[in-house]
């Protein structure tokens, strides 16, 4: 018995060790990017490569602040504004829609669900050219509003489908009870259903924000002025201009993923639930 | 007015909730899809973009695209890219899901952290891999050289097949967490009693994997593969940033080729036609996926 327990612990230690190796291998690209952003340009070219910067060099970050010929922080703000507004639109439209689908019967409901499902799988490329012409005719090109409007089209179907299952899982008796207590349909929705579905709302907020944050195609196509563009388009421009200045480029990339990592650290539970329910049920 | 009120009072009140989102999506997704079709049978370039009446040309855009030949390359590339990515990210994701399904203290936190590659913007991933595959400073060449496996640095992104290989590697890296987490969730739905019973009946680990785990996971596996196909088939950012279709149009996918036609060459109609081909293929697969999900629900 004692022997068995020993081999069990040994087994677990091996598993932990293997999992650390797997982790190190898969995360290496991210580590490499981070390390490179703190290296001097000369060290990057060094053979054999150094796994850790010999001198911690923060110039790649601060150079952006000083001359700002390429304003990393300006485009960071743009990305934030665009993703946040797109998230708000998604939530404002998706919450009532998902509630309507989950709680009421109406003709064309199935078609409605199917069309949300299909839009979730649409490629961005199909919408780009016609949207470009549409926004051009509406004089929205080069205004951040165009990127906000188009980014929200990714968040809405996702949010509707996620929240639909949240609202559907709330027992009907709860609604009846709230009606008896004097709520009408709208206040029942606001005071009873919305609070219960709030974890779902957070999942949708997180994903809608991240969709906007990661978008390159819309932001780059509809916004021509670099001052307006989101950070992903900023990186792309920067690559065109300073193609081989890897210390600056990686610093730019690190700044881009900081919010993603922060959201991930604090909202991991929601992200994983969103991913699995969105994909398997969706 | 009264009739409208009556319509919404009984049962149809659901429409009121759904309508705003529906209208939004119709304007910004439905209308563009239709106008993309129309665009593809017209001749709209930068010169005719502002003309009130656009010339109708039938299928000429499609014929010209096929005559040019890059379309076929991108079509083949898109399928090769998608299939290679799916196969490897599925196998690796499955292996990792099985591994992290075992009971040890690091399993959950590490499996959670491995989701990060899936969350970060593809532009960043593309930059990262472009750096690692670069011929003079890339770590991959530096490693291969220091181990003496290659003499000269390999120009990963400058040769057609190697460039495609690099793109596939980068996309697999993104896809692994997605496959892993979905299969992990599937694994947790298999009741442990099944494996225990099999073990009592004398089944070894391999047998219980092939005769219990795999059949039980079949619906999950099918949906992971179909979704993987859909997500990979429409990849744009990664290829756009890493190679932008180069060298000499050899790594274009349908999505990047369509973008190039529309926004570099300003042949909007040809861009729309290419996007349409992409749309039709994806639409067919999506319908397949949805039917499959619905059938599954019907059976349950």
Q: Which of B78-87, B250-259, B287-296 has the lowest mean pLDDT?
A: B287-296
Average pLDDT, chain B: 88
Q: What is the pLDDT of residue A25?
A: 94
Of the two residues A154 and A281, the one the predictor is more confident about is A154
Residue B299's pLDDT is what? 40
**What pLDDT does residue A5 have?**
61
Cβ-contact A253, B124 below 8 angstroms: yes
**What is residue B16's predicted lDDT score, i.e. its pLDDT?**
85
B18-27, pLDDT tens digit by residue? Answer: 999 999 999 9
In 3D space, the residue among B158, B120, B35 whose CA is nearest the CA of residue A262 turns out to be B120
Whether B11 and chain A come into contact, CB under 8 Å, resolves to yes
CA-based nearest distance A16→chain B, Å:
6
Ramachandran bin of A223, using left for φ above 0, alpha for ψ from -120 to 50, beta for the remaining angles: beta
Residue B7's pLDDT is 63
Question: Which position has the higher pLDDT, B122 or A120?
Answer: B122
* Residue B113 sits at the chain A interface (C-beta within 8 Å): yes
Task: Give the list of residues 6+ apart from residue A142 with CB closer than 8 angstroms, or none.
Answer: A222, A223, A224, A225, A228
Q: Measured between beta carbons, which residues in chain B are less than 8 angstroms from residue A119?
A: 25, 29
Q: Count CA within 13 A, CB hemisphere, residue B61.
A: 28
Render pLDDT for A238-270 as a digit per residue (tens, 0 to 9).
Answer: 888 877 788 888 998 999 999 999 998 888 888
Q: What pairs with residue B56 in β-bridges?
A: B42
Q: What is the DSSP letter of A256?
A: H
Whole-number Å distance between alpha carbons of A232 and A234: 5
Pairwise CA distance, residues A119 & A128, whole Å: 14
Select from A217, A199, A170, A207 the least CA-distant residue to A282.
A207
Task: List chain B residues with CB under 8 Å of A235.
Answer: 123-124, 127, 241
Q: Name the closest residue on chain A to residue B144, using Cα atoms.
A: A48
Q: Is the pLDDT reported for residue A71 higher than 80?
A: no
Whole-angstrom Cα distance, residue B183 to residue B241?
30
The pLDDT assigned to B298 comes to: 44
Token duo for residue B98: 């099985």
* Token pair in block for residue A194: 């919305």
Stretch(es) of chain A classified as CATH 1.10.3720.10: 69-280
- Cβ-defined contact of B36 to A130 (cutoff 8 Å): yes
In chain B, what residues touch A130 (CB-CB under 8 Å)? 31-33, 35-36, 39, 272
Two tokens, residue A18: 């293997």
CATH number assigned to the domain covering A69-280: 1.10.3720.10
Strand, helix or coil for residue B214: helix
Span A75-99, mean pLDDT?
Answer: 94
pLDDT of B175 over the 80 cut: yes
Alpha-carbon distance of B299 to B276, in angstroms, equals: 34
Question: Which of A45, A271, A279 is closest, CB to CB, to B227?
Answer: A279
Distance CA B163, CA B238 (A): 12
Question: Distances from the Cα of B127 to the Cαs of A230, B124, B132, in angstroms?
Answer: 16, 5, 9
The residue-averaged pLDDT of B256-278 equals 93
Strand partners, B42: B56
What are the backbone dihedrals phi and psi of residue B191, each rounded to the nearest 5 degrees, phi first? -65, 130
SS3 B237: helix
Give the rounded percent of residues in chain A with a pLDDT score beyond 70: 94
The answer, for B156 touching chain A at a CB cutoff of 8 Å, is no
Name chain A contacts of B114, Cβ cutoff 8 Å: 22-23, 26-27
The answer to whether B281 and B75 are in contact (CB under 8 A) is no
Say whether pLDDT at B181 is over 70: yes
Asked whether the predicted pLDDT for residue A1 surpasses 60, the reply is: no
Angle at A248 between CA A245 and CA A250, to 5 degrees: 100
Poorest-pLDDT segment among A199-203, B81-85, B161-165? A199-203
Tell me the H-state helices in A104-230. Answer: 109-120, 124-137, 144-168, 172-180, 185-188, 194-196, 198-214, 217-222
Residue B24: its chain A contacts at CB < 8 A? 89, 93, 152-153, 156
Q: How many residues in chain B?
A: 300
CB B277 within 8 A of CB B75: yes
**According to the model, what pLDDT value does residue A208 have?**
93
- For A85, the token pair is 């507004």
A45-63 mean pLDDT: 81
> Which positions ≥6 away from A187 have C-beta within 8 Å?
A178
Q: Give tens-digit pLDDT for B194-211.
A: 888 888 888 888 888 899
Domains detected in chain B: 60-299 (1.10.3720.10)
pLDDT band at B4 (very low <50, low <70, confident <90, very high): low
Which pTM does this prediction carry? 0.90
pLDDT (0 to 100) of residue A3: 54
Distances (CA, A) of B149 to A93, B130, B142: 57, 21, 10
Instruction: Flag if B241 and A239 touch (Cβ within 8 Å).
Output: yes
- Of the candidates A117, A244, A256, the beta carbon closest to that of B290 is on A117
Residue found under tokens 């959670």: B112
- B53 in helix, strand or coil? coil
Nearest to A55 by CA among A36, A32, A30, A38: A38
Q: Give the SS3 label for residue B51.
A: coil
Here the contacts of B33-37 (C-beta below 8 Å, separation 24 or greater) are: B33/A122, B33/A126, B33/A127, B33/A130, B33/B279, B35/A130, B35/A133, B35/A134, B36/A126, B36/A127, B36/A129, B36/A130, B36/B272, B36/B275, B36/B276, B36/B279, B37/B272, B37/B276
Tens digit of pLDDT for each residue in B98-154? 999 888 888 888 988 898 998 899 999 999 999 999 988 888 988 888 888 887 888
Contact B163, B81 (CB under 8 A): no
Taking an 8 Å cut-off on Cβ atoms, the answer to whether B123 and A235 are in contact is yes
């Amino acid at each position: 018995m004692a022997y068995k327990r020993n081999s069990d612990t040994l087994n677990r230690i091996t598993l932990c060790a293997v999992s650390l190796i797997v982790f190190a291998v898969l995360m290496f690209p991210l580590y490499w990017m981070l390390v490179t952003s703190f290296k001097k340009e000369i060290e990057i070219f060094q053979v054999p490569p150094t796994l850790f910067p010999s001198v911690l060099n923060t110039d790649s970050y601060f150079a952006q602040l000083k001359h700002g010929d390429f304003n990393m922080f300006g485009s960071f703000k743009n990305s934030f504004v665009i993703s946040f507004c797109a998230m708000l639109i998604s939530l404002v439209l998706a919450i009532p829609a998902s509630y309507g689908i989950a709680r009421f019967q109406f003709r064309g409901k199935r078609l409605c669900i199917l069309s949300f499902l299909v839009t979730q799988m649409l490629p961005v490329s199909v919408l780009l050219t016609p949207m470009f012409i549409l926004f051009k005719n509406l004089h929205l090109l080069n205004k951040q509003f165009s990127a906000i409007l188009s980014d929200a089209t990714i968040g809405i179907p996702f949010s509707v489908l996620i929240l639909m299952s949240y609202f559907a899982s709330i027992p009907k008796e709860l609604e009846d009870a709230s009606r008896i207590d004097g709520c009408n349909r709208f206040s029942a929705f606001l005071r009873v259903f919305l609070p219960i579905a709030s974890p779902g709302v957070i999942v949708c907020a997180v994903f809608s924000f991240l969709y906007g944050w990661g978008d390159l195609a819309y932001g780059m196509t509809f916004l021509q002025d670099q001052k307006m563009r989101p950070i992903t388009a900023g990186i792309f421009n920067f690559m065109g201009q300073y193609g081989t200045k890897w210390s600056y480029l990686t610093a730019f990339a690190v700044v881009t993923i900081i919010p993603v990592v922060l959201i991930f650290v604090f909202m991991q539970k929601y992200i994983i639930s969103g991913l699995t329910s969105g994909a398997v049920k969706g | 007015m009264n009739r409208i009120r009556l319509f919404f009072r009984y049962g149809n009140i659901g429409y009121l909730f759904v309508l705003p989102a529906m209208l939004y999506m119709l304007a910004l997704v439905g209308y563009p899809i239709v106008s993309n079709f129309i665009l593809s049978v017209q001749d709209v370039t930068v010169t005719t973009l502002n003309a009130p009446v656009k010339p109708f040309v039938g299928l000429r855009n499609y014929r010209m695209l096929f005559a040019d030949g890059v379309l076929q390359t991108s079509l083949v590339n898109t399928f090769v890219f998608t299939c290679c990515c799916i196969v490897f990210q599925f196998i690796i994701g499955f292996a990792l899901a099985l591994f992290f399904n075992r009971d040890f203290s690091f399993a959950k936190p590490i499996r959670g952290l491995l989701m990060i590659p899936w969350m970060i913007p593809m532009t960043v991933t593309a930059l990262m891999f472009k750096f690692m595959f670069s011929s003079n400073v890339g770590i991959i060449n530096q490693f291969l050289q220091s181990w003496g496996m290659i003499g000269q640095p390999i120009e990963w992104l400058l040769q057609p097949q190697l460039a495609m290989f690099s793109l596939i590697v980068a996309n697999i890296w993104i896809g692994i967490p997605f496959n892993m987490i979905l299969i992990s969730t599937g694994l947790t739905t298999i009741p442990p009693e099944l494996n225990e019973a099999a073990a009592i009946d004398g089944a070894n680990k391999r047998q219980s994997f092939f005769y219990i785990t795999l059949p039980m996971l079949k619906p999950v596996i099918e949906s992971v593969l179909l979704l993987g196909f859909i997500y990979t088939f429409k990849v744009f950012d990664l290829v756009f940033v890493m190679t932008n279709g180069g060298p000499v149009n050899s790594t274009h996918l349908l999505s990047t080729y369509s973008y190039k036609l529309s926004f570099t060459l300003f042949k909007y109609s040809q861009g729309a036609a290419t996007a349409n081909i992409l749309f039709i293929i994806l639409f067919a697969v999506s319908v397949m996926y949805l039917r499959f999900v619905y059938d599954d629900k019907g059976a349950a």
